[in-house]
Amino acid sequence: MRLIENFIGGEYVAGQGGKTFEKRSPVDNRVIARITEAGQADVDAAVRAARAALEGEWGGLTLEQRVDLLYGVADEITRRFEDFVAAEMADTGQPSHVMRHVFIPRGAANFKVFADVVKNVPAESFQMATPDGRGALNYGIRVPKGVIGVISPWNAPFLLMTWKVGPALACGNTVVVKPSEESPHTAALLGEVMNSVGIPKGVYNVVQGFGPDSAGEFLTRHPGVDAITFTGETRTGAAIMKAASDGMRDVSFELGGKNAGIVFADADFDAAVDGIFRSAFLNTGQVCLGTERVYVERPIFERFVAALKTRAEAVKYGRPEDHAANYGPLISQEHKQKVMSYYRKAVEEGATLVTGGGEPAMPAELAEGAWVQPTIWTGLPETAAVVREEIFGPCCHIRPFDGEDEVVKLANATDYGLSTTIWTTNLARAHRVAARVEVGITWINSWFLRDLRTAFGGSKQSGIGREGGVHSLEFYTETRNICVKL
């Protein structure tokens, strides 16, 4: 049985308390690894290592040296592509094509793009008048914020963890990462990459474990951590915000969503069905940007529901390495219980079940896996729990609408504000509606197209702050102003 350890100061080390926990495969519920659980002493050691690197070799590198090392990390991820694919498939059970085309290449891109960003962003400068007429010059210098605590989730583990580690290191910080207890593999494997390309020891550290009363909480409460960047549930964000208030540490939060998909009657019908199918069911619905509320203009409502039903019923269940499969399990039995409880609640709330709503019949060797059917409902009021709460599963509720004003109201009637996808051939309307929906990112006639130079984040309870491109620099550096009297 493989043992996954912490990665501290460039070494793989067992937790000092000797505690371990098991990781089960989502596919068949077999135990596939044991994981070290970091205690307070391990988190202390990781933060010390990160501080030492910051004040030592890493802090002394030139920008060019740092950037070259990060290009090296990206190249080494690409060289070890198959290892990362295998590690992520083991943790999540998702089809290999998702790993190959989206999640793992993004891991490499997260290092490359932010290395380029830091190289190319100029510092600000302002000239000012002074009473003596000689003037003064202000200029800003950016300095790293320090030791960054990175807390990441399980749904796209490598993409989401490196999306924070890449810019943090590019800006000259050091990191202590706490990956989800459900997805320990790729964060651990990245330690090997860091060592093999010569990233100084202590720049990248990983503590494994859980959230409350475990590595996550010890890290976010640690006074040696200068800022915390977190992706996960809104409720967890609230707990971390309280922890960060001790010492007034800065936070960047990417949180939950209950995203609307809006389909106008003039949309390219097949493209809209395909787009909503992907946004509702890719990664078994475990994408924060996914669509759980679909609004379809009345003239095409029935036809759209029927077409999406056909697509949902055609998914091919299977192991990640089975190339014919395009649909995997949920991450865990625990998450399956949560999703199934919403499937039952939808029926109790009076939904019309269009398709799914239960567990698929799986062959004996996969019967213990966290499999659930893609599910579509109609007929619920907007007040239903299933329409209001983030389920984070392969399911959506579809409701008809009449006109722009109504659909904007419906889309905005939520505490969340992460993303929207709009389907229409009327581009003037697309721009109008996009400007009115209260979210961090809107896709028009597409979904999950990502340019890493753009601002990414959530409105309302979907997040605090923006990352991506220069926006990441705002969080991962501090600007000091220097005023020179001339």
Binding partner selected for residue 163 from ligand 6OD, ligand NAD, none, CB under the kind-specific 5 to 8 Å limit? ligand 6OD
User: If 0-12 CB within 10 Å is exposed, 13-18 middle and 19+ buried, where does residue 232 land?
Assistant: buried
Residues 6+ apart with CB under 8 A from 27: 93, 319, 320, 328, 329, 366, 369
- Cα separation, 389 vs 380, whole angstroms: 13
Least distance in Å: CB of 140 to ligand NAD? 29
Interaction residues for ligand 6OD, span 219-258 (CB under 6 A): 254
Single out the residue of 24, 106, 112, 178 in contact with ligand NAD (rule: CB under 6 A).
178
Q: Is 156 in the site for ligand 6OD (CB under 6 A)?
A: yes
For residue 416 the two structure tokens come to 């969340």
Binding partner selected for residue 469 from ligand NAD, ligand 6OD, none, CB under the kind-specific 5 to 8 Å limit? none
284 or 424: CB nearest ligand 6OD: 284
Binding partner selected for residue 157 from ligand NAD, ligand 6OD, none, CB under the kind-specific 5 to 8 Å limit? none
Least distance in Å: CB of 342 to ligand NAD? 13
Binding partner selected for residue 380 from ligand NAD, ligand 6OD, none, CB under the kind-specific 5 to 8 Å limit? none
232 or 374: CB nearest ligand 6OD: 232
Least distance in Å: CB of 458 to ligand NAD? 5
Q: Is 155 in the site for ligand 6OD (CB under 6 A)?
A: yes
Interaction residues for ligand 6OD, span 429-468 (CB under 6 A): 450, 456
Active-site residue (options: 37, 182, 217, 254): 254
Interstrand relation of 11-13 and 6-8 (parallel, antiparallel or unpaired): antiparallel
How many other CB atoms are found less than 10 A from the CB of residue 460? 17
Instruction: Look at residues 208, 75, 73 and name the one whose alpha carbon lies nearest to residue 151.
Output: 208
Q: Is 211 in the site for ligand NAD (CB under 6 A)?
A: yes
Catalytic site includes residue 288: yes
Binding partner selected for residue 210 from ligand NAD, ligand 6OD, none, CB under the kind-specific 5 to 8 Å limit? ligand NAD
The string of DSSP codes covering 117-174 is HHHHPPPPEEEE--TTSS-EEEEEEEEE--EEEEE--SSSHHHHHHHHHHHHHHTT-E
Single out the residue of 169, 255, 289, 366 in contact with ligand 6OD (rule: CB under 6 A).
289
Give the H or E element holding residue 90: helix 81-92
For residue 420 the two structure tokens come to 């929207």
Q: Is 287 in the site for ligand 6OD (CB under 6 A)?
A: yes
List, in sequence order, the alpha helices (H) in 11-62: 40-55
